[in-house]
Structure 1
């Protein structure tokens, strides 16, 4: 007999494993047979077959009940785990089968609040749709979308940079710390995203146009990192209105900082996208429309 034949001869049938687990739980062949809608002789045959495969006696008949041997206890532990995995597989492939996975990309400031609330509501309506949400810098999300790694994306971009399903203007504000303002410092410290990060070039160009001296005091690819650094007095920054927190103070127009209003939020999906992706795009469109009005 080849090694593969020997291996195959030792495969444990789940039906046999379920029989011994039921007998052990019931403590009786008769009761186990009733529970499994079988006969006592059939259950006994399955246990004998299992003992042949295991090479050990697995059950001992007592005066009143049936008890597992030491080898039986060892086998029962594995049997329960295998049966549990089988049940999980059956459930995964049942009516709860994922019919479609939608890969979504959103900037950090859209990864909570109304956006996730609407995504959760959509998921409850369509439990067969699996949503995989990635948040990050728009430059990275755009690259992932172009590589085919995302199905639906929200991007912050300069107006009309690329064709989109829908676009909304991005309202931004110059923001300082409410408790430790630094707008009057010279050179002016600024908090911003890394190179090619959204707002960075425009922020620097605006300060240059004023003739203000400046230096970068803090950079982060995380929106929360930018928000915290500004609130803690590391420098001023340029943020979308939705990202301004109680720890921030909007720099008044009297300071003379120019408005930066050349950005938009764009929603993208491919023309041949699944109808469910298009439905989800409509959900996100409503969120963005509310956000723009706000």
Structure 2
């Protein structure tokens, strides 16, 4: 680009800019090519063409995640503006409202309540933004985020096991049925998520630490299933404090069960995320920081 007359400078192709923005947002060429319905080699070629035009290396291709260089950060900022202007022009010419889509993933116990109130407030502030919210087991939400299918995610994890934008301790409670308690049964019946599910190992290790026997009496991948099974007297369980209902009795340390403080709630989004995504992340942070 150096030495070119002003009128003969190359024009950056929006298709190339869209490719590098997608790679930066997804953190990988593989995920970006899937989102663009293209091949990985085609996306790589587009990024190389941009690097040739810019005269700088734009992406650092690490072993785990692709990261923009300083020049890449500069180009990405302009690329987002140019793509946004292109969308605005199309929207104006078509007379239609085309907005940004933000894809959020949360654990099942975050659906409804404060989360819904926060999302409604965000939607009122940004009516042009389309929110796509999915929920499920934390391991599934994390996998979707890693594949590039989500822009922002809340996941539960072992404390400090993964780098996050922010994290908070997960407050856990031992719960029994208020009507049909089973803590004194031998062996102790346990209600739990499937193998590799959250809290399961903490439960069995704690019971064994008391020198007591246990058995799995009910297994479900559904939070509501776990809550109902405990309420109906099928066994005790370990759940987030927000998941305790009036049909449950919280077991205190007088029962001999130890406090479990091994889990975090982690907020994830990519450093190159759109400003709207970062604003939603700040609103989620304020919600989670409120007792």
The TM-score normalised by the length of structure 2 is 0.67
Instruction: Say if 2:140 is the partner of 1:140.
Output: yes
Deviation of 1:268 after TM superposition, in Å, equals: 0.4
Which position in structure 2 is the counterpart of 1:286? 286
Which position in structure 1 is the counterpart of 2:261? 261
Which position in structure 2 is the counterpart of 1:174? 174
- Report the CA distance shift for 1:250/1:95 in structure 2 as closer, same or farther (over 3 A): same
- Looking at structure 2, the residues matched to 205 and 252 of structure 1 have their Cα atoms a distance apart, in angstroms, of 17
Which position in structure 2 is the counterpart of 1:216? 216
Q: Report the secondary structure of 1:234's partner residue.
A: coil
Deviation of 1:203 after TM superposition, in Å, equals: 1.0
Deviation of 1:205 after TM superposition, in Å, equals: 1.2
Q: Report the secondary structure of 2:112's partner residue.
A: coil
Q: Report the secondary structure of 1:233's partner residue.
A: coil
- Looking at structure 1, the residues matched to 142 and 212 of structure 2 have their Cα atoms a distance apart, in angstroms, of 33
Deviation of 1:232 after TM superposition, in Å, equals: 0.7
Deviation of 1:286 after TM superposition, in Å, equals: 0.9
Deviation of 1:177 after TM superposition, in Å, equals: 0.2
Q: Report the secondary structure of 2:287's partner residue.
A: helix
- Number of paired residues? 200
Which position in structure 1 is the counterpart of 2:61? none
CA contact (8 A) 1:175 1:230 kept: yes
Which position in structure 2 is the counterpart of 1:201? 201
What aligned pairs does 1:47-126 form with structure 2 within 5 A after superposition?
A: 94-98=95-99, 100-126=100-126
CA contact (8 A) 1:151 1:269 kept: yes
- Looking at structure 1, the residues matched to 284 and 97 of structure 2 have their Cα atoms a distance apart, in angstroms, of 25
CA contact (8 A) 1:96 1:127 kept: no
CA contact (8 A) 1:139 1:196 kept: no
Deviation of 1:252 after TM superposition, in Å, equals: 2.2
Instruction: Say if 2:159 is the partner of 1:163.
Output: no
1:94-125: CA deviation from partner (whole Å, max 9, x where unpaired):
35322x11110101111110101110111121
1:225-256: CA deviation from partner (whole Å, max 9, x where unpaired):
11111011010000111110000001121111
Q: Structure 1: where are the runs of 5+ without partners? A: 1-89
- Looking at structure 2, the residues matched to 178 and 129 of structure 1 have their Cα atoms a distance apart, in angstroms, of 43
CA contact (8 A) 1:189 1:215 kept: yes
1:263-294: CA deviation from partner (whole Å, max 9, x where unpaired):
1100000010001000000011111011xx2x
Q: Report the secondary structure of 1:103's partner residue.
A: strand
Deviation of 1:210 after TM superposition, in Å, equals: 1.4
Which position in structure 2 is the counterpart of 1:190? 190
CA contact (8 A) 1:103 1:151 kept: yes
- Looking at structure 1, the residues matched to 167 and 221 of structure 2 have their Cα atoms a distance apart, in angstroms, of 24
1:138-175: CA deviation from partner (whole Å, max 9, x where unpaired):
01111111111111000111110100000011111100
1:7-29: CA deviation from partner (whole Å, max 9, x where unpaired):
xxxxxxxxxxxxxxxxxxxxxxx
